[in-house]
Structure 1
Amino acid sequence: MRLLLVRHGETVDNVANVYAGHTDSALTNHGVLQANRLGIHLSASKISNVFSSDLQRAVKTAEAICAAQDSRTSLEVTKLKLLREQDFGYYEKKPFHQCLKDSKKTSKETYSEAHRTHPGFKDVESKGSMKGRMETFVKEHLMHLLDNNDRNLDDHTVVIVAHGIILGQLWRVVLRQFNSKNVFIGPDVPNPERGLENIGGWSNTGYLDLFIKSIQDVPLAKVGSVPLLDEESDAETPVELEKDDTQHPEIRSLENEPNIPKSVEVSSHDTIEPWIHSSRRGGLNNTTLDMYITRPTPSASLVTPNINSTPVHL
């Protein structure tokens, strides 16, 4: 199965440099162009399923991908609140803050302490809550596709269009469903310095391209060739949900589920932006990983530039 984790196109709030998690930001004209170009780039792929955050920036990007598919293909976007970006609470629509000089705290942390007593204050969504949402998504929407017999697995190309921070959480949840011995890196990608769980950020219309194969299709020499975590992480210790997060019945934990008997190879995190403009308003290349992953092949109409750019972080 090919699995594409895609970030939406550029939005008005990206340009304004304000926090927009659950805020329903619109795409800019540039973002629409990014989405359309991404659709063209993926048009040769026979996509079987498209999931999207229910926020319009993700939905519009997902619809552009669907629109570029073969006209004989009836493909609809499954819109899910589960796939929304991190909720920034009190800080929605507020400007980004920089680290304060001579302080170990960011200004965001400082302002959080100052604003916590304000009427209507709502804290930023925790990592535990986001992890729980992604576990629920994987359990309810992806597992049945992965459980198909190996003969049908290659018939699926699944696209998930969401947001930069939540995609990072989704990747970690997906990665943890596989035995580490069945995870390996493609030949054209350097080992991530901090381990596979920490791959950096998604640019606008950036995507992580993953291929999931049956174990017998994987060369034995490649199995277990890359660590999942950085050295400071404990691979045996699950990330615990905060106490408040466990009160949400919609969150379905995967902690006690067995590993998926499939393989994962890490290859690349490719983007479309350099094929649209020379402008660097997002969409820069960022090397990352795959699950049996190979670098995506551009369509014949595209001229691929040299895009060995510096990884972009959130």
Structure 2
Amino acid sequence: MRLYLIRHGEITGAHTRRYNGHRDVELSENGRIQIERLAEYLRERVEIDAFYSSDLKRSIDSARIIADRYQSRPIAIPDIRERNFGEWEGMTFDEICEKYPNAFYSWAKDPLNYSPIGGESTIEVRDRIMPVIEELSKKHRSDTIAIVGHGGINRIIICELLGIPLKNIFRIEQDFGALNIIDFFENINIVKLVNLTLE
């Protein structure tokens, strides 16, 4: 299987650095342009057999823009959603540091195991999304598929497929509209491309 793993386009209010998590925010006009560009790039180069995405609007709208070029429709999978940030949902980095300084310090120190109240740890997110990736890789063994996910989700998927410790997730950049390509073989996964953006 070849996986085109994509991050959704830029969202409204992206400059505020909010922890959106499960909040349903819209693509910005620039975000739509980013994904239109990527859709054109992909359509000119590759055939894609199936399209999947998170069920959050920013992801499913991005997936629809790409799938439309192939006269196809994406399938939304709730388990591909971004991390749930619990009480931090919708807050900016500065707001979290001000209101929950101790909790933010604990999360920054151990993001693998610590979760905000009502939210998910990195380990919990991994345990939610990786069974989906495994199931899709079995279903589409000889196919080329696209998944439109989120920054945090994509980082975890890349780390897990390469066998890289999850403590390194923030060392993998995932810009808005980023494209990653991963090939699945019987006993090994090979990352062909990481974080390509089209400007």
Please give the TM-score of this superposition, normalised by the length of structure 1.
0.53
Q: Percent identity?
A: 24
User: Which string of whole-angstrom CA distances, capped at 9 and with x for unpartnered residues, describes residues 66-117 of structure 1?
Assistant: 1122xxx4x2211011011011111111111399xxxxxx66762538xxxx
Q: Secondary structure at the match of 2:4?
A: strand
User: Which string of whole-angstrom CA distances, capped at 9 and with x for unpartnered residues, describes residues 141-187 of structure 1?
Assistant: 332323xxxxxx2xx211010100011122233335xxxxxxxxxxx
- What is the CA distance between 1:20 and its match in structure 2? 0.3
2:152 is the alignment partner of 1:165: yes
8 Å contact from structure 1 (residues 41, 272) kept in 2: no
Q: Which AA in structure 2 matches 1:39?
A: A
2:80 is the alignment partner of 1:83: yes
8 Å contact from structure 1 (residues 13, 20) kept in 2: no
User: Which string of whole-angstrom CA distances, capped at 9 and with x for unpartnered residues, describes residues 234-285 of structure 1?
Assistant: xxxxxxxxxxxxxxxxxxxxxxxxxxx24433332242332xxxxxxxxxxx
Q: CA RMSD in A?
A: 2.9
8 Å contact from structure 2 (residues 67, 73) kept in 1: yes
Q: Indicate the residue corresponding to 1:21 in structure 2.
A: 21
* Aligned CA distance change for structure 1 residues 144 and 15 (closer, same or farther; 3 Å): same
Q: 1:142 aligns with which of 110, 125, 137?
A: 137
Greater Cα offset, 132-141 or 28-37? 132-141
Q: 2:101 aligns with which of 89, 106, 110?
A: 110
8 Å contact from structure 1 (residues 13, 19) kept in 2: no
8 Å contact from structure 2 (residues 162, 191) kept in 1: no
Structure with the larger RCO, 1 or 2 (CA within 8 Å, 6+ apart): 2
- Separation (CA, whole Å) in 2 of partners of 1:175 and 1:269: 12
8 Å contact from structure 1 (residues 9, 57) kept in 2: yes
* Aligned CA distance change for structure 1 residues 49 and 170 (closer, same or farther; 3 Å): same
Q: Indicate the residue corresponding to 1:204 in structure 2.
A: 176
Q: Which AA in structure 2 matches 1:174?
A: L
- What is the CA distance between 1:35 and its match in structure 2? 1.0
8 Å contact from structure 2 (residues 19, 88) kept in 1: yes
Please give the TM-score of this superposition, normalised by the length of structure 2.
0.81
Q: Which AA in structure 1 matches 2:49?
A: S
8 Å contact from structure 2 (residues 137, 184) kept in 1: no
8 Å contact from structure 1 (residues 83, 162) kept in 2: yes
* Aligned CA distance change for structure 1 residues 107 and 21 (closer, same or farther; 3 Å): same
Structure with the higher fraction of residues in helix conformation? 2
Q: Secondary structure at the match of 1:142?
A: helix
8 Å contact from structure 2 (residues 161, 189) kept in 1: no
8 Å contact from structure 1 (residues 164, 202) kept in 2: yes
| Structure 2: runs of 5+ lacking an equivalent | 105-115
